[in-house]
Amino acid sequence: LHMIFADATRSGVLEHDQGSILAGVVRLAERPVREVMTPRTEIDWIDVNADLAEIREDIENSPHSLLPVAEGSPDKVLGIVKVRELLAHMVAGKAIDLRQLMKKAEVVPDQLDAMDALRALQQSEVAMAMVHDEYGHLDGIVTPVDLLTALVGQFASDQDEREGPELVERADGSLLVSGAMSADDLADRLGLEYGEDREFATVAGYVLAVLKNLPEEGESFTDQGWRFEVVDMDGRKIDKLLVSSAE
């Protein structure tokens, strides 16, 4: 199906955005939730014992409408609060009791299919779930925004303009690709198939999975009719690749 959507997009049967979204729907059904979640290290949260000043600071520093409430660290999530309810209490001058305001935090396993995670969110009290590994440790959180991002790719507003575009088509038809680009976005563009057991999310991860080692600048390989050359390394990070037809 990925190849069909890619061919239809290239031939003009589908607009590029339409093809990307259709491919994203199929892709979402194939991916475990751990590949689309917000990782633990990027979670904004509120300590259940925080005072009013600390709660206000946490709200001001986070763009999110829902925040996990935890005891001491994100590993001990007790529930989830709606920021608008906290703000309403502040405006009204009411005391804030996080334990009283928080809603139940749903828990999903990290291997759950992303589409099943979406169904769990639809049935939960709030649109956020904790993602746990097989040992019960917190891996991250998942929200409808995470799933939508996986569906249509990174929103332009989330991209750092200083890093430049993730893909540039050159005059000779080759592509200059960032290692940080979504591997799924590249698959949609080139018609690549990764296999169900893939464990990477970025183009750099794809390169490492193929080569089985950290490459040097100038190293190249071919895969599924395409030639990939590592043209820039930033220390141990794969920064840029040049992609061209292998035919």
Q: What is the pLDDT along the chain (247 residues), one digit of tens a residue?
A: 344 344 444 544 445 555 555 666 666 777 788 888 888 888 999 999 999 999 999 999 998 999 999 999 988 999 999 999 999 999 999 999 999 999 999 999 998 988 888 889 988 989 999 999 888 899 999 998 888 777 665 433 344 443 457 889 899 999 999 998 888 889 989 999 988 778 788 899 899 999 988 899 999 999 999 999 999 998 888 999 999 998 7
Residue-range domains of the chain with CATH: 34-151 (3.10.580.10), 156-245 (3.30.465.10)
In the prediction, which pLDDT does 23 show? Answer: 61
Residue in the block written with tokens 């904004």:
44
CA distance 72 to 14: 50
CA distance 122 to 142: 12
In the prediction, which pLDDT does 24 show? Answer: 61
CA distance 65 to 83: 5
pTM > 0.75: yes or no: no
Q: What size, in residues, is the chain?
A: 247
Distance of CA 241 to the CA centre of its chain: 21
On whether the CB atoms of residues 200 and 179 are closer than 8 A, the answer is no
